[in-house]
Amino acid sequence: MNRPVLLVIAHGSRDPRHAATVQALVRRAGALRPGVRVETAFLDFNLPSVTGVLDRLAAEGIRDVVALPLLLTRAFHAKADVPAVLRQAPPSLRIHQAEVLGPSPLLIAAVERRLYEAGLTPGDKSTTGVVLASAGSTDPEAIAVIAETARELRRTGWCSVRPAFASASLPRTEDAVRALRGDAGVRRVAVAPYVIAPGRLPDRIAAGAADADVLADVLGPSPELARLLLERYDGALASRVAVAHSA
């Protein structure tokens, strides 16, 4: 019996680094589960489009698809854009929408991996303040999830962790960096971009980290994210709730 296709749906960007990073992550996830076919599609800016991939899969005779939004929070894209495009899928497809990636302990582990790769060590945690810098959202649920993720990161032993946002919300990265300088016990400040792939907003985060001591890389094709994609795939199949198609 063929396993359902995993369709990873990314936002897309005019920045070519975005699509390249997404594809690298998807390849890594596919390598972890060779028996599962993994496809990539984009909501905007890049090809292939979601509708294009769904039409192609239907034409091939595929019947079951797990659609995974490559998003860290349930903001507008997860609540509106992704369900809307999935409702337009060919009626022959049974589509199961997976949950967004966050929150998850694997994301905390990926953030720490990037901080260590940037030069920090576990021994630095008790004297290092971290700015958890996300893209930003006007959705209260998404903002609350970022705040809770910052608290979870703090519980792993970092001296202090503050959330920041590149757009839509406050504080900005540079403001959080300045605030951490005033925290008791903070000897160095690190900025951890809580974003999956490079692009305009991650570049804004990097610019705001000019006065930080350490700037970590985006989460990218980390092994933790690759494992998380498969966790969400398995969870969607376990729930067996299919997306209703438009009439």
Q: What is the mean pLDDT of residues 52-75?
A: 96
- pLDDT tops 70 at residue 247: no
In angstroms, rounded to a whole number, what is the distance separating the alpha carbons of residues 147 and 136? 11
pTM for the structure as a whole: 0.94
Distance of CA 226 to the CA centre of its chain: 11
pLDDT tens digits along 137-157: 999 999 999 999 999 999 999
In this predicted structure, the answer to whether residue 27 has a pLDDT above a threshold of 60 is yes
Tokens of 177: 């960096």
- Supply the pLDDT for residue 16: 96
**pLDDT tens figures, 71-88:** 999 987 788 899 999 999
pLDDT tens digits, residue range 160-211? 999 999 998 899 999 999 999 999 999 999 999 999 999 999 999 999 999 9
Specify the pLDDT at position 246.
Answer: 60
68 vs 1, 36, 40, 43, 97, CA distance in Å?
Answer: 21, 14, 10, 12, 6
- The answer to whether 196 and 220 are in contact (CB under 8 A) is yes
Residue 210: strand, helix, or coil: coil
Residue 71: per-residue pLDDT: 96
Give the tens place of pLDDT for each residue, 98-110: 999 999 999 999 9
Residue with tokens 């192609």: 56
First vs last Cα of the chain: how many Å apart?
30
Contact indicator for 41, 107 with CB cutoff of 8 Å:
no
Residue 244 pLDDT: 60
Q: Percentage of the chain with pLDDT > 90?
A: 91
Q: Do 70 and 46 form a contact (C-beta atoms < 8 A)?
A: no
